Amino acid sequence: MPEMARFRTLTQRFGTLYALVIAVLLSVGAVVIYHLQTIRVDAQRLVEEAREQAQISAMISTLDSVRDSLESTDRWGPDEIRRATDQLLTCRGEIELMSSESEDPSRESHQEEEERVAEQLHLHLTEAERLLPLSAQASHRARSQEELRLAKHFAQILLVEARSEGLEANEDLQRRASMTRVTLLVLVPVGVLLLSAALIQIQRAVVRPLRALQLATSRFGGGDSKARIATTTPDEIGLLSASFNRMADQIVGAQADLESRVRQRTQQFIRAARLADLGVLASGVAHELNTPLASISSSAEGLARRLDGESAPSPELLRDYAATIVRETDRAREITTRMLRLVRQEASEITRVPLQLVVDQAVSAMGHRSAKRSVGVHAQPVDPAAQIEVHSCELVQVLVNLLANAIDASEPGQEVVLTADLEGDRLAFRVRDHGAGISAEALDRIWDPFYSTKPAGEGTGLGLALVSSMVQSRQGEISVKSREGEGTLVELEFPARWEDRA
């Protein structure tokens, strides 16, 4: 990775640009607020002057009405005098109200001029109001008319002043609006340009490097050990990219070292496993041969006892003993042949046989064992037409192992039941005993090689392990249900047609 330039944080890199953007935004805000405030004041001036114009126009109309009435009537009655006096009093009150307003937004010069004219107007209205009750006399009537004329004159001056202030307020309002529009047209595009520049800079300096970092981590996590990041910016993202590259190099190196160690350990394990397989194979052969050898020994002992007896054994009994010895000898030879095939990975011979024959051979092989322990072995009836394509010796050996365990777990006088069913293309067996049962702890380990619950010297712990291996090799399934004191049920299921193993 090339040498990085002098390190600068992201804050340092974007600080100036951010400061400009913030300054422009603040300037726009300040200008807008200032112009809005002045526009509000000008609008208030315009509204106030319009209100004053309406009041003064109404006042002038009132003065004209009183003066015209005074000129057209030679003598006023009390009602006319009271009505005219009330009208002048109302006009004077409006003048006082206009003069007393403290929040007049108008210009100070206008307010001063307005106050001066309003004061004169107030004086003439007061004098006219005083002379009205005396207007029956010609001199007082003339003075009242003069005071009303002067009051109208100053009211007209006040109206002109209000109109002038209103026009100026309107001009100021238009000018402020125009200035605000020009300011916004200048500052807003500048702010947008600066903000766009900031976003582009963020895209280049932050978003793209982060996207490259995310892509590299995804590729590396997906198995691409060569994935690296080319970002070399002198900031926090550059440091993060460099750290990722160093981490990736370390992981790749550690993985290569680990794979080398795994290969070494695997070779050592294979050598050790081969030696262990020889021991397990020898133990398995011995365990499997024990059953036919026990049958041969039992038949030979029975034959010897018969020959040593006082009466000669019948030919049928001799033939039964001889047939048992020959059958079990053939089975022992088949066991050794099958073991050799298993070691050499040779295919075993599969033949079509009646299901009843397999059941009978398994039960017959357990005859001496069941008689010795006084345990009955009963096979449920099987459909005579049921045919299966299996390696009969291997299947018999599986059933023999299960029956042997069931007999050993039973008490004298109890019975072991073997059930066989052919349902479509599936072959099912069930071996049921009513013995002591298996504990929950032992149930999890019964398939382990060399694990046995029998007393020392009575079991090798290989029977069920070999059964499990044979069942799995034939795409079969095996399950055990057991409760202590209630017995055990072993269920097997195979395809009705076995396939040759390569």
**Tens digits of per-residue pLDDT, 319-348?**
777 788 877 787 777 667 656 655 544 455
Does 409 score more than 80 pLDDT?
Answer: yes
Does 244 score more than 90 pLDDT?
Answer: no
Average pLDDT over residues 406-430: 91
Instruction: Quote the pLDDT of residue 203.
Output: 74
CA atoms of 204 and 195, how far apart (whole Å): 14
* 283 — pLDDT class (breaks 50, 70, 90): low
* 273 — pLDDT class (breaks 50, 70, 90): very low
Average pLDDT over residues 390-413: 87
Both tokens of 125, joined, read 């209205």
Instruction: For residue 219, give the 3-state DSSP assignment.
Output: helix
Q: Which residues pair with 431 in a beta bridge?
A: 418, 490
Q: Nearest-CA neighbor of 295 among 333, 334, 321? A: 321
DSSP state letters, 305-327: HHHHSSSPPPHHHHHHHHHHHHH
Average pLDDT over residues 416-430: 91
Does 277 score more than 60 pLDDT?
Answer: no
User: What are the residue ranges spanned by the domains of the chain?
Assistant: 10-214, 348-502
* Length, in residues, of the chain: 502
CA atoms of 21 and 201, how far apart (whole Å): 13
CA atoms of 424 and 417, how far apart (whole Å): 23
Count CA atoms closer than 13 A to 277's CA, side-chain side. Answer: 11
Q: Which of 101-105, 281-285, 492-496 shows the highest mean pLDDT?
A: 492-496
Instruction: For residue 386, give the 3-state DSSP assignment.
Output: coil
CA atoms of 85 and 78, how far apart (whole Å): 10
CA atoms of 41 and 53, how far apart (whole Å): 18
Mean residue pLDDT across the chain: 77
Does 13 score more than 60 pLDDT?
Answer: yes
DSSP state letters, 118-146: HHHHHHHHHHHHHHGGGTTSHHHHHHHHH
Q: Which of 196-205, 282-291, 404-413 shows the highest mean pLDDT?
A: 404-413
How far from the centroid of its chain's Cα atoms is residue 229's Cα? 28
Q: Nearest-CA neighbor of 13 among 200, 202, 191? A: 202
DSSP state letters, 229-259: -----SSHHHHHHHHHHHHHHHHHHHHHHHH
| Cβ atoms of residues 1 and 232 within 8 Å | yes
Q: Nearest-CA neighbor of 151 among 132, 130, 123? A: 123
Instruction: For residue 73, give the 3-state DSSP assignment.
Output: coil
Label residue 5 exposed, middle or buried (CB < 10 Å: 0-12, 13-18, 19+). exposed
Is the pLDDT higher at 489 or at 56? 489
Instruction: For residue 222, give the 3-state DSSP assignment.
Output: coil
Instruction: Quote the pLDDT of residue 286.
Output: 65
| Cβ atoms of residues 86 and 25 within 8 Å | no
Is the pLDDT higher at 122 or at 412? 412
Instruction: Quote the pLDDT of residue 3.
Output: 45
The Cα-based distances of 227 to 46, 438, 498 in angstroms read 73, 56, 50
Does 271 score more than 60 pLDDT?
Answer: no
Q: Nearest-CA neighbor of 94 among 155, 145, 156? A: 155
Does 276 score more than 70 pLDDT?
Answer: no
CATH of domain 348-502: 3.30.565.10
Both tokens of 494, joined, read 């195979």
| Cβ atoms of residues 282 and 462 within 8 Å | no
The pLDDT tens digits of the residues spanning 359-372 come to 998 888 888 788 88
Give CA angle at 296 (294, 301), nearest 5°: 95
Instruction: Quote the pLDDT of residue 1.
Output: 41
Phi, psi of 42 (to 5 degrees): -65, -40
Q: Nearest-CA neighbor of 209 among 251, 249, 175, 240? A: 240
| Cβ atoms of residues 446 and 405 within 8 Å | no
Both tokens of 320, joined, read 């039964």
CA atoms of 295 and 325, how far apart (whole Å): 7
Q: What kind and span of H or E run contains 370?
A: helix 367-373
CA atoms of 87 and 69, how far apart (whole Å): 12
Does 230 score more than 70 pLDDT?
Answer: yes
Is the pLDDT higher at 128 or at 387? 387
CA atoms of 244 and 232, how far apart (whole Å): 12
Q: Among the residues of 132-235, which ranges form H helices?
A: 138-202, 208-221
Torsion of CA 161, 166, 168, 170, to 10 degrees: -170
Q: Nearest-CA neighbor of 37 among 105, 108, 86, 133? A: 105
**The CATH number of domain 10-214, selected from 1.10.10, 1.20.120, 1.10.3210, 1.10.357:** 1.20.120
CA atoms of 175 and 160, how far apart (whole Å): 22
CA atoms of 392 and 338, how far apart (whole Å): 12
Is there a common fold for 10-214 and 348-502?
no
| Cβ atoms of residues 39 and 176 within 8 Å | yes
Beta-carbon neighbour count of residue 388 at 10 Å? 22
Instruction: Quote the pLDDT of residue 421.
Output: 92
Does 430 score more than 90 pLDDT?
Answer: yes
| Cβ atoms of residues 300 and 325 within 8 Å | yes
Q: What kind and span of H or E run contains 414?
A: none
